Chain A
Amino acid sequence: MVQERKFLKGPRLRNPADYDFPGLQRALKMEPEEVIQEISESKLLGRGGAGFPTGTKWDMAFKEEGEFKYIICNADEGEPGTFKDRYLLDERTLKVLEGMLIGAYVIDADYGYIYIRGEYFKSIKILQEALEEAREAGILGENILGSDFSFDIKLVRGAGCYVCGDETSLLNSLEGMRGQSRTKPPYPISKGLCGCPTLVNNVESLACVAEILHQGASEFATMGTEDSKGTKLVCLSGDVNYPGVYEVEFGSSTLQEIITDLGGGPRKSHDIKFVIPGGLSTRILTRDKLDYKYSYEGLEEAGSSLGSGGVMVVGSEQDLTAILTRIARFYMDESCGTCFPCREGNQQIYKIISRVGKGKFTVNQLEIIEDLGNAMAEAARCGLGQSAQYPTGTILAEFKEELVEGAVY
């Protein structure tokens, strides 16, 4: 029976008067290099979806020089099926703030921004209050906690744009432009906000940092597998009895166990048809592939990826074309329109799928969708277009018999 392993989760933490910021206190007594060393030893991987080693990223940001340096907390959580950052922002508010302060101290950032999605009205209010109270308590501003370190954070509200979760789009958005992605390189680490070195971290990554500095890298590294250390906030939704945010130690369980033991199994259907394991932009896993350990390498072995941790369970009685239509509409609506493979490709895929409606696909239509998906994967500028084919392509491939007119496979 899988149980939660609570490392990030805990009681509500919003008021600086109730919290002494142990991770930050410890970090301020260390040299920046030592903090980076500790983060690297913990083997923390970025929790936003891409899984880049946080220690490496911080080391690069530390070594960059510029007139100004910025740190940004990416709280533009918009990946369908993902709501873990909202949990952390609402309930563990000061842990996120603490992680950001540690990052700012380490890379010697001049200023910080929290870019939060505009629809999170409640979280915005909580953060606004927490930031104000942190300033009053001397956690933000000049000489934080009596040290030489001075820093402040501005909260910036997004305005309903999924692609701004991509760090380069986020930077353009912060600079007052359309939230369109930039070509990389240069990466934000060297040329980010207004051309200055900028460290962008996900909410959950920053909360992990705060706990690692508090409880120690060795404690963190006792949890998980060789390649996936620590815990992950898993967002269970879709056809399960008990949806919600669960904290799972890497390698301790399989997706099937998470769905059955924590989620209580399918709610409406007899059986699971497939699972989207890491937010919408990941390849689906059919029910025979749910017995791999829940870890970065486990889900890769299964043929998908851990992504953002948004696990969406689709029951056996669901209408596939209706699901495909919604996936296609999402990518079409959210494409920023800068690069044509993504802009045109997603429109054409949506047109084809919505034309099929309640009918069946022809083999030719499947081929066109596959071609378009491959072209986007090769040529789109950012992750949105590149990964648009993952859910659609894998659903079409796995359920051909059901979807194609007169199919004999």
Chain B
Amino acid sequence: MLQQDNDILLEMAHDIQDTYGYIPEREITQLAEKFSEPRAKIYGALEFYSMLYTEPTGKYIVRICDSISCFLHDSDEVLEAVQDYLELESGETSDDKLFTLEVVECLGHCGEGPVMMVNDRMYTELTSGRAIEILSECQ
């Protein structure tokens, strides 16, 4: 799939997602037309990436790192507290569409673990209490 310098599928997908919060089917159809590719191929490419969503997510995407360095600073306790508070397992979205919870691999803040991202904001050196405080402010 040869692309022009400014037509990078990933970037276009990000832009669409920044607008709608996910990538709606009609946009996939348009991308397929733009790149002269079958819709399945575009859909298959987008589905590969864990940060791209083809279904609506919660208003707040909560990503918690449970990789080695964070685990050495008890990320498992933070994760458990957040799961209990949100009543969600990894990959699930709350019924009120407020939260989507994801357990993720390394977020590149290994020196400041445990870490959690809420949408594009990073919170470091968390405790369970602080994590819940942050989430309780998300309305």
Contact = CB atoms under 8 A, between A and B. Distances in A.
B6 interface: yes
In the A-B complex, list the 7 residue pairs whose CB atoms are closest, starting with the nearest: A176-B9, A243-B111, A159-B49, A160-B51, A237-B110, A160-B50, A121-B120
B71 to A, nearest CB: 6
Contacts of B35: 176
A326 B48 CA distance: 21
B106 A176 contact: no
B105 interface: yes
B126 interface: no
A81 B52 contact: no
Question: Which of A119, A314, A327 has its CB near the most chain B CB atoms (within 10 A)?
Answer: A119
Nearest to A121: B120
A241 B89 CA distance: 32
B100 to A, nearest CB: 13
A120 interface: yes
A154 B10 CA distance: 12
Interface range, A side? 35 or more
Contact of A176 (B3, B109, B121): B3
Nearest to A333: B105
Contacts, number: 139
Interface stretch (A16-24, A51-59, A72-80, A378-386): A72-80
Interface of A: 77-83, 86, 111, 117-122, 154, 156-162, 173-180, 194, 235-239, 243-245, 276, 280, 310, 312-315, 318, 322-323, 326-327, 330, 333-334, 336
Contact of B68 (A77, A80, A244, A315): A80
Contact of B69 (A80, A120, A158, A333): A80
Interface residues of B, number: 41
Contact of B72 (A160, A173, A238, A327): A238
A267 B107 CA distance: 22
B68 to A, nearest CB: 5
B14 interface: yes
Nearest to B75: A326
Nearest to B5: A111
A355 to B, nearest CB: 18
B8 A119 contact: no
A323 B44 CA distance: 32
A82 B111 CA distance: 9
A71 B52 CA distance: 26
Nearest to A177: B45
B108 A77 contact: yes
B137 to A, nearest CB: 19
Interface in B108-134: 108-113, 117, 120-122
Nearest to B104: A160
B95 interface: no
Given A121-B120, A243-B110, A330-B105, 7 more contacts: A119-B108, A160-B49, A161-B48, A177-B45, A178-B44, A315-B72, A322-B71
A78 B108 contact: yes
A357 B20 CA distance: 41
Given A154-B8, A162-B105, A235 B72 contact: no
Given A237-B113, A326-B68, A176 B108 contact: no
Nearest to B74: A268
A119 B14 CA distance: 12
